Chain A
Amino acid sequence: MSEIRRRDPRREWIARNRLHPEHASVLAEQGGAASEWLGPNGVIRKNPRAIGFIGPNGIKRIDRSGAQQGGHAAGAARQAAQDSRRQVEIPEPAFLVAVVPELSGGRLSGHDKDLLGLARRLADADPARPGAVLAVVFGEHKEDAFGEAGIDRLLHLPGDGYAGFAPEARLAALTAVERELAPRHWLLPDSPLGGADLGRRLALRLSERPATGVWHIEHDDQAPLGWRCTARGAAESLDIQRPLPRVALALAECAEPVDETRHAAEPVSLVETLPSAFSRIEDLGQVAVDPAGVALAEAEFIVSAGNGVKDWESFHHAAKVLGATEGASRVAVDDGFMARDRQVGATGTWVTARVYLAVGISGAIQHLQGIQTCDKVVAINLDPGCDMIKRADLAVIGDSAEILAALVAMVEQQRGGQRDAA
């Protein structure tokens, strides 16, 4: 009797299924991910994925001599190889191309970088007489790679007067820039948060008829500024070809972002002091909206749960306290813990959050595709080797329930402190 090998197909299936809730316990029962074992028919089976190490060039190596060694010294060399941008200085620019980036969240967005690429095309058209790209930045920012994005001159206007919705103060500053520096081109992103509003105001203040929705420019000697542009009109149903005016509002992907050169981003300042404009519009600040009502695709802050979450009550509570929209991985949805419309990933929603907090998500490739455009990814996970940790900007290895509980306590304490101070 005892010689008959008993197989449990279900447990074997669980051991193969990395996403199964009982995967870890079954694997541990079998003695971990073994590299060699006796198969059901008496044949030795080998798992080549369980052995070996990652070599210095990032390739997996299996050392059959028995002495395993691996190096991580190649990291620094790879860093140096990536850093091959050409430094460009433009001390005496023939003209200026002014760009007003939207700086959503205090950093240059992808749209801003495309716009700066467009500005570089305008500035570098004639190599004998290069122009300089001037960026006008309002308020506080967190960006430290202005030079890499292609900015030669940086005009930073700090101050609370530009915070929130302050089109009149911003317009006054831009007209001062126009009077003093007289740029040849003005470029703004045609995006709802930044340039779409300010650019139209600026153009009319400068008595220009701007081109809006510009997505392509090309040389044209007949045009007054030497360029002609193609712009979208009539609710995206029309392409308008016209000479490029002084003020242009460009769409995303209007040009390739700068990636071969590094520029000076030299600080400049205005000579005249800006008058504090009397404003007829008063900003009373943002209104609290119900995060559950925000569509997942456009939510700014998402807390997403996966297979690693066991205590769902505390997860929902944490999302509520953090004021985040809830998301989920496919496993959590399949297991019935979250609704189908909350699924993030290739088969669910492609999200664009600025901060994505992944709780107990190992990071299947379909899920990572869905969070491609997120700015900051924070991962809480038990497994330090999973793909989500590799993608994350900040990863904390530990029990998700405990960490979330500590986070909730800290946020509540912080809020309480603020309320007391106020």
Chain B
Amino acid sequence: MRPEQQGIEVAVLVSVGRHPITGRARRADQDARGLEMALGLEHQLPGSRVSLLHAGPRSEEGEAALRGYLGMGLDTLTLLEQAEGSDAIPALAEHLAAAPPQLVITGARAERGEGSGLLPYALAERLGWPLVNGLAAVEKVENGVATLLQALPRGQRRRLKVRLPAIVSVDAAAPAARQSAFGPARRAELAATAVSAEPDRELAEWQLAPARKRPKRLKIVKAASARDRFKAAAAKAEGGSGQVLEGVSAEQGAEAILKLLNEEGVLR
């Protein structure tokens, strides 16, 4: 008989996002991908429970954005209500420590505020849980150990085994989020509880401004003679220190190429 798979508790931390062009509140892209992954896990491991958690102030605009997550097929969202500009990490850590889920999924970084991507790391440090960043998929969960697929740059993937409970963060490599349905989002419940919060004094002291376009790096030519400067300005492919094998057999040539490929470690 097939061993019965046990469901796990998954908490998804969601935030209020910001549309990159209009600047309006929306469901944050990475958080929505995290929720999509959690819902996929619920399907994969029957009996799993997904809960949504948000810490922050309650406003009309923010509520509409948070209901965007509920429209993906959940009944309730826990809102830890705080004053504007307060630190979300202590409240979240306290809430997670009180009823520890086995897996916490967050987006890699927020779309508003500091957006430093520190929250999952701060929670992992406080709770003492392992953390995996850049998750692409959860392959399986067995006996308190999860097998995960981590996304690397250049489209590569890495397989990891992590002992639960753990925190994972997702970025753009995770599966795209499903559409949010308006009716279920309206009917779902926002369960708000007020929590004590301390203001983030450091953030209040910083100067925030809309992002300036970064200066483009100029190509600075440091050449002694006019001829060198001209050559650098009219840059064409230049005879580098490359090795040229001429008049060799195909086998010798292939051997040299193979040696370089092995040195670079691109052959798998």
A interface residues with partner B (beta carbon < 8 Å): 57-58, 81, 105-106, 142, 164-165, 167-168, 192-193, 196-197, 200-201, 203-205, 209-210, 212-213, 215, 232-242, 253, 256, 259-260, 280-289, 293-295, 298-301, 322-324, 354-355, 357, 363, 365, 368, 375-378, 380, 384, 387-399, 402-407, 409-411, 414
Contact = CB atoms under 8 A, between A and B. Distances in A.
Interface in B239-257: 239-251, 253-257
A322 B261 contact: yes
A354 B160 CA distance: 25
Interface stretch (B44-52, B70-78, B97-105, B106-114): B106-114
Nearest to A194: B153
B3 to A, nearest CB: 21
B183 interface: no
Given A237-B18, A407-B257, 4 more contacts: A239-B212, A280-B162, A365-B237, A402-B250
Contact of B125 (A165, A205, A300): A205
A403 B254 contact: yes
A397 B246 contact: yes
B156 interface: yes
Nearest to B158: A286
A387 B239 CA distance: 9
A394 B114 contact: no
B186 to A, nearest CB: 27
Contacts, number: 248
A212 B159 contact: no
Contact of A384 (B122, B246, B256): B246
A408 B27 CA distance: 49
A288 B260 contact: no
18 contacts: A192-B134, A197-B134, A201-B121, A201-B125, A204-B125, A209-B118, A215-B214, A233-B113, A234-B18, A238-B211, A239-B209, A240-B206, A240-B208, A280-B130, A287-B157, A388-B237, A393-B242, A407-B257
Contacts of A287: 149, 156-159
Nearest to B239: A390
A398 B248 contact: yes
Interface in B154-196: 154-163, 166, 171
B132 A281 contact: yes
A284 B161 contact: yes
Contacts of A197: 133-134
B111 A410 contact: no
A236 B268 CA distance: 36
Interface of A is mostly: mixed
B60 interface: no
A210 B265 CA distance: 34
Given A239-B210, A390-B238, A210 B118 contact: yes
A241 B236 contact: no
Contacts of A404: 254
B226 interface: no
Contacts of A295: 155
A378 B118 CA distance: 41
B85 to A, nearest CB: 14
Contacts of A281: 130, 132, 160-163
Contacts of A236: 211
A195 to B, nearest CB: 12
B78 to A, nearest CB: 24
B117 interface: yes
A357 to B, nearest CB: 7
B222 interface: yes
Going nearest first, the 10 A-B pairs with the smallest beta carbon separation are: A406-B254, A396-B253, A294-B155, A402-B250, A407-B254, A301-B266, A284-B159, A282-B161, A241-B207, A234-B115
Given A289-B156, A289-B157, A322 B253 contact: no
Contacts of B244: 384, 389, 392, 395, 397
Among the interface residues B133, B211, B238, B246, which one has the most CB atoms of the partner chain A within 10 A?
B211
B228 to A, nearest CB: 9
Contact of A237 (B20, B220, B264): B20
Contacts of B233: none
